[in-house]
Structure 1
């Protein structure tokens, strides 16, 4: 694949860097610097391939090619879900499209990939077609295995909280999937720190597996979970944020006073993206000026910033094109100057927190 050779040469030359050594135990290879995902023992790439667009707008054949290209560049971590089917998705539709595509893409390559998938969201109209009951979890794990064409899932993720099901019921079902060998490790998505703490306490009390990962929406523009990262770092939970580029807002493709590009999310799914107003562009333009100072594209700069945050292991990046994969891989080698981090905290501040009266 001639188009990949320049990128591979670049990655080999610069990706082995001490940038994240103080935050994560890593294992270096000639292409990628892998990181421990929490306490799972799984070594994952610092970029995770997201698959929510697989099916539409990314057709199956293109999605398979993109998956192969990502793996050739060293990405070994692939995130999907039982409900993903691209932009055609609606609440209660059957889903499964992205899992099927990933399964086809990994034929002959399964042992080279760390596969994460999820359970909870509705996959039908019935009362047992959603949630975190044992019935739903145990049925859906088998369906995911069939679609993925594998006999185990590396990371099985609770997609959303279910307020109608006691967490101990959910954890007991997860324990069954782990004990049966169908699941190697499990993670949590869209849960706050207090909910993760409850799961950890129940796991300790009952000898059940602990969550090794947390998947939350997190980016330079969206930092409401900022202080939950401290909990994750303290308790050995690797964070794999989604929307690290905030639906494409942090790629530099949107310009003040100009219509969004025709192939952008703002054009294709306007209800999936924030309002493009002046306060937003003030932040985007300030961040992009800092990216220009160190000579990198805005998308790489935003991903690199995400990787500097506590407990962040592997941001999930959805792609439509090969160049977007190449861009994400290159971001793992970008170093953000300390003075930039301070400026970014002023431009895109984290939530207010009481000043420490004891330690300052």
Structure 2
């Protein structure tokens, strides 16, 4: 396993983060335990969750994934070996203050996550989405209080635009509040819009990028070559199908599975700390781990850019002189 710093923070984490979104609603507790056991055996120490995982649209029990992770850590007795991340923002109930980033909800949400996880602190507590109705100084003040109380160690963001990252960093610098050290965004070969402003902003402020959906919901995992593919899954490829056909052909020429290439490509991208993988099987987990040993040369990277062209670089040069 390879390790790197968590953005500009001093802590180090594995180059792969194990996402737990599927734990509970998609795979049962026994299968979830097996995946976590295998991940730790391979050296993964970075585990990512969210308070809403297990709830809609995944299932009917928000908090279920945190609970499974919490029980596993208690049974294995390995909490201190792990860097545990979770998130706050999504709806956890029907009351007006059961969602968002108000100081009121953040205070209730962190205590609930700590109970479900069976731990005394969250190593990386992430804002799951921007909340346009709450002033950022209120949000950052609430997180500062949590850090003073020892309930969280580092702060992160998720699904923020580039200008959101800049605003929160500047407000934090002016006020002395803790600033986010990571941003978790959708990022993969087929979805590269974050290269316009999110990636440059993260680099400017020393934030580590945690790409979610590294296989574009499975479309980069060899979907055309799978014998169990359904007609609906192929129809869902839409306008991407020609690129996926060329991509799978190219991966065949390389002799490397498409999912491995996709994650290896992300590991080469500036500011990326760790792709967040969400395996449903041990084989999918092992495929992601395999990517750590893959080196993509300049010619291969150039061909991947031809198949999956990005936005043309950072803004404004991507669309202006």
TM-score over 0.5 for the alignment?
Answer: yes
Counterpart of 1:276?
237
Residues 1:341 and 1:181: Cα distance change in structure 2 (over 3 Å): same
Task: Measure how far apart 1:261 and its partner are.
Answer: 5.1
Task: Measure how far apart 1:94 and its partner are.
Answer: 5.4
Task: Measure how far apart 1:334 and its partner are.
Answer: 0.8
Q: Distance in 2 between matches of 1:55 and 1:249?
A: 23
Residues 1:102 and 1:169: Cα distance change in structure 2 (over 3 Å): same
Preserved contact between residue 120 and residue 159 of structure 1 (Cα < 8 Å): yes
- Partner of residue 251 from structure 1, selected from 221, 226, 230: 221
Counterpart of 1:123?
92
Preserved contact between residue 311 and residue 318 of structure 2 (Cα < 8 Å): no
Provide Cα deviations, 1:2-46, integer angstroms capped at 9, x if missing partner.
xxxxxxxxxxxxxxxxxxxxxxxxxxxxxx110101112121111
Task: Measure how far apart 1:131 and its partner are.
Answer: 0.4
Preserved contact between residue 78 and residue 114 of structure 1 (Cα < 8 Å): yes
Q: Secondary structure at the match of 2:212?
A: coil
Residues 1:340 and 1:85: Cα distance change in structure 2 (over 3 Å): same
Task: Measure how far apart 1:174 and its partner are.
Answer: 0.6
Counterpart of 1:21?
none
Residue ranges of structure 1 left out of the alignment (5+ in a row)? 1-31, 268-272
Counterpart of 1:346?
306
Task: Measure how far apart 1:301 and its partner are.
Answer: 0.3
Provide Cα deviations, 1:97-128, integer angstroms capped at 9, x if missing partner.
00000011112010111110000011111110
Match status 1:219 vs 2:188: yes
List structure 1 segments (4+ residues) > 6 angstroms apart after TM superposition. none
Q: How many residues align?
A: 316
Task: Give the 5 Å matches for 1:1-360.
Answer: 32-85=1-54, 89=58, 95-107=62-74, 108-227=77-196, 228-255=198-225, 260=229, 275-277=236-238, 279-352=239-312, 355=317
Q: Distance in 2 between matches of 1:83 and 1:77?
A: 19
Task: Measure how far apart 1:350 and its partner are.
Answer: 1.3
Residues 1:312 and 1:274: Cα distance change in structure 2 (over 3 Å): farther
Residues 1:274 and 1:210: Cα distance change in structure 2 (over 3 Å): farther
Task: Measure how far apart 1:158 and its partner are.
Answer: 0.1
Residues 1:81 and 1:304: Cα distance change in structure 2 (over 3 Å): same
> CA RMSD, aligned part only?
2.3
Q: Distance in 1 between matches of 2:170 and 2:45?
A: 31
Give TM-score, length-normalised by structure 1.
Answer: 0.83
